[in-house]
């Protein structure tokens, strides 16, 4: 969400100079600044059209506005989140979806959830895919570890299903000396240590900068993503841009990349293991996935995303 907001906001004045812009950044979710001071500031500034660029929105948002909601994972798997999340999505977010003139989402798979949970009219939904940033097409030198490695990028919340990834990697035949790298802290209760051996290790990388991440992508044998559900996961397009093929669960891959990734049934350790083994053994397959994937992700740019967002503004303001 932060990348989406940053990249689109930075480009809007140049791509759609016919509008004047006000950017509001202060306030925490459900706090005074968001719920009271923000609507007052927008009224004072005589805003013609608001764009709420994430699911953080005033509970009683009024006027003409556009609402970006990338996914409804918090409703699909509310058992994995704090108790107030489900009620928040079923009240504040639901009302915003119904009141918005247009809803922007980043992947077509989210349309069904918007219709199912909120009875949103599909006619007012616009699908605008996200994009990799330029730095991932030209990473610094590829990371070289003690052994080859596969990579996972993201947080370790329960819906990410990291245990399936760890078990699939650990189930590789003994001849494969390949490590598993995961961004973020080692917050998996000893799972990584228990799965590691003298010939392969599971390593939590902690926080990494964008430049470091690009280097990890470029050096990885594959990005492996087992999540139970994703919206438009930026790691997929970032990895492919950097020359790293993608292995993903069927419920996590963004629609534009479905034909250029190896997909396994969600939760299937055996199926995930088999695809990891394929990518380690078959360099021709790996190169083909990268080449075809790069053709697609080169067509996904933040300029196109921003232009499409501005076109939605024009629709509403016409």
Domains 2-131+301-317 and 134-297 share a fold: yes
- In the DSSP assignment, the letter for residue 91 is I
Band of pLDDT at residue 16, cut at 50, 70 and 90: very high
| 307, 102 Cβ separation under 8 angstroms | no
Helices (H), the chain: 2-15, 32, 38-44, 73-76, 85-88, 94-99, 109-118, 162-170, 191-195, 210-219, 234-241, 269-281, 283-297, 302-317
Is 178 in contact with 196 (CB distance < 8 Å)? no
Convert the pLDDT of each residue in 59-68 to its tens digit: 999 999 999 9
Confidence at residue 26, expressed as pLDDT on a 0 to 100 scale: 84
pLDDT(140) > 80:
no
Given a cut of 80, whether residue 292 has pLDDT beyond it is yes
d(CA 39, CA 218): 44
Q: What is the mean pLDDT of residues 33-56?
A: 94
Is residue 130 predicted with pLDDT exceeding 90? yes
Query: Is the pLDDT assigned to residue 295 strictly greater than 90?
Result: yes
Tell me what pLDDT residue 80 has: 86
Is residue 261 predicted with pLDDT exceeding 80? yes
Query: What is the predicted pLDDT for the residue at 99?
Result: 96
User: Rounded to whole angstroms, how far apart are CA atoms 168 and 111?
Assistant: 31
Please state the rounded mean pLDDT for residues 181-198. 94
What's the pLDDT at 28? 84
* Residue % of the chain over a pLDDT of 70: 100
Sequence spans of domains, the chain: 2-131+301-317, 134-297
Residue 51's pLDDT band (boundaries 50, 70, 90)? very high
What average pLDDT is seen over the chain?
Answer: 94
Assign 82 a pLDDT band (cuts: 50, 70, 90): confident
- Per residue in 195-206, pLDDT (tens digit) is 999 999 999 999
The pLDDT score that the predictor gives to residue 141 is 87
Please state, in angstroms and rounded to a whole number, the distance separating the CA atoms of residues 96 and 316: 16
pLDDT (average), residues 278-300: 96
Going from the C-alpha of 154 to that of each of 39, 207, 225, the distances in angstroms are 33, 10, 9
* Domain 134-297 architecture: 3-Layer(aba) Sandwich (3.40)
pTM over 0.95: no
CATH entry 3.40.50.2000 includes domain 2-131+301-317: yes
Cβ(1)–Cβ(54) below 8 Å: yes
DSSP state of 67: E
């Amino acid at each position: 969400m932060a990348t989406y907001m940053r990249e689109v906001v930075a480009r809007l004045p140049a791509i759609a100079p016919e509008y004047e812009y006000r950017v509001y950044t202060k306030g925490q979710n459900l706090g005074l600044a968001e719920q009271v001071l923000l609507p007052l500031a927008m009224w004072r500034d005589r805003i013609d059209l608001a764009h709420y660029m994430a699911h953080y929105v005033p509970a009683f948002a009024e006027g003409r506005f556009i609402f970006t909601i990338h996914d409804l994972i918090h409703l699909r798997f509310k058992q994995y989140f704090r108790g107030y999340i489900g009620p928040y999505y079923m009240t504040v977010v639901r009302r915003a979806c119904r009141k918005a003139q247009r809803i922007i989402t980043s992947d077509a798979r989210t349309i069904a959830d918007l219709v199912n949970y909120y009875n949103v009219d599909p006619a007012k939904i616009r699908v605008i895919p996200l994009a990799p940033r330029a730095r991932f097409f030209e990473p610094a030198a590829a990371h070289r570890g003690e052994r080859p490695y596969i990579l996972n990028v993201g947080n370790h919340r329960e819906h990410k299903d990291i245990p399936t990834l760890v078990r699939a990697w650990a189930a590789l035949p003994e001849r494969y000396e390949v490590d598993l790298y995961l961004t973020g802290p080692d917050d998996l209760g000893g799972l990584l240590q228990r799965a590691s051996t003298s010939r392969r290790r599971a390593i939590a990388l902690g926080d990494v900068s964008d430049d470091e991440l690009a280097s990890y992508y470029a050096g990885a044998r594959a990005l492996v993503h087992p999540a139970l559900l994703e919206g438009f996961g930026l790691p997929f397009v970032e990895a492919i841009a950097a020359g790293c093929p993608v292995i993903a669960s069927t419920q996590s891959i963004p629609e534009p990349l479905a034909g250029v990734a190896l997909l396994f049934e969600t939760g299937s350790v055996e199926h995930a293991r088999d695809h990891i083994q394929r990518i380690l053994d078959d360099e021709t397959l790996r190169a083909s996935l990268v080449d075809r994937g790069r053709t697609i992700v080169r067509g996904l740019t933040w300029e196109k995303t921003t232009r499409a967002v501005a076109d939605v503004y024009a629709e509403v303001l016409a």
